[in-house]
């Protein structure tokens, strides 16, 4: 899994935060992946879903309900990946700041 690869590359076997040296390129890759995935879901959520034209009003109503649920799920995915990207960016910024503070000792 990506998460286990990230953990291995970020500092396997390190004992303290001071011993840990982050691979900032990998963190940036993770941020970009979250952003690209979020953008893809956002595109899907904004796209026109197929409509149901039927003589049966119950079928049309059901299709409309399913379409609304699909858009809600896609919108929720956009929100989730936005939070994931923001969290990864915050981690990147915090570790960069910590590295900078450590270098000034």
The predicted-structure confidence for 3-39, as pLDDT tens digits, reads as follows 556 656 655 555 555 555 667 888 889 899 999 999 9
- The answer as to whether 31 is a domain residue is yes
Q: Show the domain range for 31.
A: 24-103
CB of 89 closer than 8 Å to CB of 28: no
pLDDT reported for residue 38: 92
Residue at 10 is within a domain? no
In a domain, residue 49? The reply is: yes
Categorize the per-residue pLDDT at 80 as very low, low, confident or very high, splitting at 50, 70 and 90: very high
Number of domains forming the structure of the chain: 1
Q: Is the pLDDT score of 105 beyond 50?
A: no
Determine, yes or no, domain membership for 59.
yes
* pLDDT, mean of residues 69-98: 90
Return the DSSP state at 17: G
Would residue 16 count as lying in a domain?
no
Does residue 12 lie within any of the structural domains? no
Tell me, yes or no, whether 5 lies in a domain.
no
Alpha-carbon distance 45 to 42, whole Å? 5
pLDDT at residue 7 in the model: 57
Residues 16, 98: Cα–Cα separation, whole Å: 13
């Amino acid at each position: 899994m990506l998460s286990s690869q990230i953990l291995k590359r970020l500092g396997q076997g390190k004992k303290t935060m001071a011993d840990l040296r982050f691979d900032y390129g990998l963190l940036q890759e993770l941020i970009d992946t979250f952003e690209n995935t979020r953008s893809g879901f956002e595109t899907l959520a904004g796209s026109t879903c197929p409509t149901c034209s039927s003589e049966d009003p119950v079928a049309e109503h059901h299709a409309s309900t399913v379409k609304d649920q699909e858009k809600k799920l896609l919108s929720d995915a956009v929100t989730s990946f936005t939070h994931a990207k923001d969290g990864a960016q915050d981690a990147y910024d915090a570790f960069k700041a910590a590295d900078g503070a450590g270098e000034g000792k």
